[in-house]
Amino acid sequence: MMRGLRQEQGSVTTLVIGMVPVLLGLVVVLTDLSVLYIHKRSLAAAADNAAVAGAQSVDLETFYTTSPSRLPLNCSASRRAISRQVGASKVDKRTPRITVVSTTCDGSTVGVQLRSQVILPFSQHFGVKPQVQVAGSARARSPLS
């Protein structure tokens, strides 16, 4: 009985040594993926904020000189509001810069597309490009339209 136990000594050590790199690799991949996911969500929130700021730029001259059935937007003021909002937003410290890719305005709805690059914390140590491009977009409608 004791002879059988002595032959199996060290098998747990071999198993642990084999599993440590696998577990560390999973931690690295999951950390990078979670950073990417959180950054994408933050960029989507920044796009939402920018679109709402743009949708609040009412064309008062058109509103007061005519009797519109909806609240018209001033598209140039809307684009300025979007640029101010994006310039003021900081997603996180891994974001070098948020870029406004495009803005759309049809007089009642504003759309914005943003892009930035996120620096992944662990991938750079394994020969993978450490910056990944992330995009976010949002649309907002003028109040009372």
- pLDDT tens track for 14-44: 888 889 999 988 998 898 889 889 889 988 9
- CB-based contact 126:110 (threshold 8 Å): no
Q: What percent of the chain has pLDDT over 90?
A: 22
Spatial distance between the Cα atoms of 51 and 60, rounded to a whole number of angstroms: 19
Please give the pLDDT value at position 110: 93
Please give the pLDDT value at position 72: 82
- CB-based contact 31:94 (threshold 8 Å): no
Which residues, other chains included, contact 139 with Cβ-Cβ below 8 Å and sequence gap of 6+?
51, 109, 110, 111, 112
Spatial distance between the Cα atoms of 77 and 65, rounded to a whole number of angstroms: 18
Please give the pLDDT value at position 49: 92
Average pLDDT over residues 117-122: 82
Domain residue ranges in the chain = 2-141
pTM above 0.85, yes or no: no
Please give the pLDDT value at position 99: 87
Mean pLDDT of the chain: 82
- CB-based contact 133:115 (threshold 8 Å): yes
pLDDT at 59 over 90: no
First CA to last CA distance, the chain: 84
- CB-based contact 51:138 (threshold 8 Å): yes
